[in-house]
Amino acid sequence: MQTRNLIGGEWVGADSGREIQVRNPATDEVVAMAPDCGAEETRRAIESAAQALPGWSRQTAGDRGRVLRRLADAMLRDQERLARLMTLEQGKPLGEARGEIAYAASFIDWAAEEGKRLYGEVVPSSSPGKRILTLRQPVGVTAAITPWNFPAAMITRKLGPALACGCTMVVKPAEQTPLSAIALGELALEAGLPAGCFNIVTGDAKAIGGEIFRHPAVRKVSFTGSTEVGKILMKMASENVTRLSLELGGHAPFIVFEDADLDAAVEGALATKFRNAGQTCICANRIYVHAGVKEEFVRRLSGAMEGLKVGPGDAEGVRVGPLIDDDAMRKVRAHVEDAQGRGARVVCGGRPVDLGSGFAKRFYAPTLLDGFTDEMLVSREETFGPVAPVRSFETEEEVVRMANDSPFGLAAYFYTRDASRLMRVAEALDYGIVGANDALPSTAQAPFGGVKQSGFGREGGRQGMQEYTTVKYVSWGI
Ligand code: ADP
């Protein structure tokens, strides 16, 4: 499959003619090629976005919303095709890919409506001869740099609000997963989005990123990816003082109190830990279970994990697909070996799964580690794999302290049936997102984002729209 980039409404290759390979993580086969673009193509994409900006931002929110709703509808109409494309390049089970397409479309749909409610204010003045108005205006040309773990949703939760607010955008998808992005571009044009409003550039991350931060027309960049790259981008953003939102790594604690509904907690742990083979920034990394219920929880969770079928994402009944690449596999193996070496007990899994010839060696058995400690890699670094480390705790105070003892602060989860504790712990957890008796908190209506080294800025909800607007204050002498 040969694919092209979208610049100023035209489908183009790299100036050099070079291409990057897109591989199926399950088999390592090359399934498509995408343009290997750099700074020059990025500059043209930014300039197309700048040209499209006045026309798009002058449209009414209602008119922009109609285009966006057509895009969301087209995504749902083509859900099966888009899901298969995603599984091909990313590896996740088809059921999850279908879910991601619906989730991705929901950001476009929600923003299409919310764009109509970007209200300004009339502020009571301190002087009889003045009136004070605030306006919410589009930021301008924006750029998005997105990761491979959610190839569609990580784009639409930036693109939807940006377009709905009247901004235009250049998107640089992850090199592993350009196909979902390109398919979105095709649907956007079909939906009637004017040329230049949404541009897609694939290829050399450093060259494309460098141009995005160098070009003065780019007024805001939204990035989802590793904390390591986020820090590099923050430095680059200082050049033009480019506005940023960063959604970076996480290390989510998952707490089960003694009064929890254990079945719900097991179901929640399964959902948050093994979705996308554990390759999400909000998946549970440290599971703390009250000593009084730990044995029972471990028994039930390992029992439920036995039922998780490992295999290629397009095979029937598969719940855990391949890891994205060989490095990811090495990291998971290293984390499990390190934990075992330091005394954790492997309750189930703890080994790769060999699917035989024709398949890459990137499948890892859902693994439950009992008795993780602070020195282990699993308690400090994101494993980004299907590994669930569990340990016990005695008191609420102790577990909140352990949960907060992390440089990250994206998502945290806990299960309790005590209403007072629910509020107390939700307030005490130093995280941007708290799932209280809920392991799947992400939704288009809610502000998603972190604190500490998990980044800043919010995506989704009213707050996610505000990221793409600037407040202007007009002091009106009368
Ligand atoms: P992950 O660990 O999930 O692959 P990364 O942070 O490495 O996360 O990548 C997320 C996105 O950031 C990808 O689109 C990648 O190409 C891009 N990226 C990586 N390094 C840079 C860089 N120096 N400048 C701009 N973008 C980058």
| Residue in 145, 212, 153 with CA at minimum distance from that of residue 180 | 153
Residues 45 and 147 in one domain: yes
Give domain status of residue 313, yes or no.
yes
Residues 391 and 466 in one domain: no
Integer distance in angstroms from the first to the last C-alpha of the chain? Answer: 63
Give domain status of residue 204, yes or no.
yes
Reported in sequence order, the residue ranges of 206-295 that DSSP labels E, i.e. its strands, are 218-224, 243-247, 252-256, 284-290
Residues 182 and 329 in one domain: no
- Which CATH number do you get for residue 165? 3.40.605.10
What atom in ligand 1 is closest to the CA of residue 146?
A: 14
Give domain status of residue 472, yes or no.
yes
Residues 287 and 186 in one domain: no
Number of domains present in the structure of the chain: 2
Quote the crossing angle between the two packed helices 178-190 and 153-165, to the nearest 10°: 30
Structure tokens at 425: 């712990």
Give domain status of residue 305, yes or no.
yes
Residues 107 and 18 in one domain: yes
Residues 353 and 300 in one domain: yes
Active site residue 283: no
Residue listed under structure tokens 């490095």: 327
Given this model, what pLDDT does residue 400 score? 98
Nearest CA to ligand 1 atom 9: 225
Quote the crossing angle between the two packed helices 61-77 and 153-165, to the nearest 10°: 160
Residue 436, SS3? strand
Mutate to test the pocket of ligand 1, among 20, 145, 236 (most ligand atoms within 8 A of CB): 145
- d(C-alpha 36, C-alpha 229), whole Å: 20
Catalytic residue among 281, 283, 396, 467: 281
The alpha carbon of 227 and the centre of ligand 1 are apart by a number of angstroms equal to 10
Residues 274 and 328 in one domain: yes
- d(C-alpha 440, C-alpha 307), whole Å: 20
Torsion of CA 411, 412, 417, 421, to 10 degrees: -110
Catalytic residue among 41, 89, 247, 382: 247
Please work out, in degrees rounded to the nearest 5, the angle formed at the alpha carbon of residue 251 by the alpha carbons of 181 and 237.
55
Indicate whether residue 209 lines ligand 1 (CB < 6 A).
Answer: yes
Give domain status of residue 448, yes or no.
no
Ranges of residues in the chain whose predicted pLDDT is under 70: none
The alpha carbon of 460 and the centre of ligand 1 are apart by a number of angstroms equal to 22
The alpha carbon of 197 and the centre of ligand 1 are apart by a number of angstroms equal to 23
> How much is the pTM?
0.98
| Residue in 309, 406, 395, 310 with CA at minimum distance from that of residue 361 | 310
Expressed as residue numbers, the domain containing 181 is 5-248+454-477
- Which CATH number do you get for residue 429? 3.40.309.10
Given this model, what pLDDT does residue 191 score? 98
Give domain status of residue 449, yes or no.
no
Residues 144 and 211 in one domain: yes
What atom in ligand 1 is closest to the CA of residue 148?
A: 3
Residues 209 and 260 in one domain: no
Mutate to test the pocket of ligand 1, among 36, 229, 234, 330 (most ligand atoms within 8 A of CB): 229
Indicate whether residue 232 lines ligand 1 (CB < 6 A).
Answer: yes
Indicate whether residue 225 lines ligand 1 (CB < 6 A).
Answer: yes
Give domain status of residue 119, yes or no.
yes
The alpha carbon of 447 and the centre of ligand 1 are apart by a number of angstroms equal to 23
Residues 121 and 237 in one domain: yes
Mean pLDDT score of the chain = 98
The alpha carbon of 226 and the centre of ligand 1 are apart by a number of angstroms equal to 7
Torsion of CA 426, 450, 297, 303, to 10 degrees: 150
Residue 58, SS3? helix
Indicate whether residue 145 lines ligand 1 (CB < 6 A).
Answer: yes
| Residue in 395, 298, 392 with CA at minimum distance from that of residue 349 | 298
Residues 244 and 258 in one domain: no
- d(C-alpha 337, C-alpha 352), whole Å: 12
Query: Taking the mean position of all CA atoms in its chain, how far away is CA 201?
Result: 19
Residues 230 and 268 in one domain: no
Active site residue 296: no
Give domain status of residue 115, yes or no.
yes
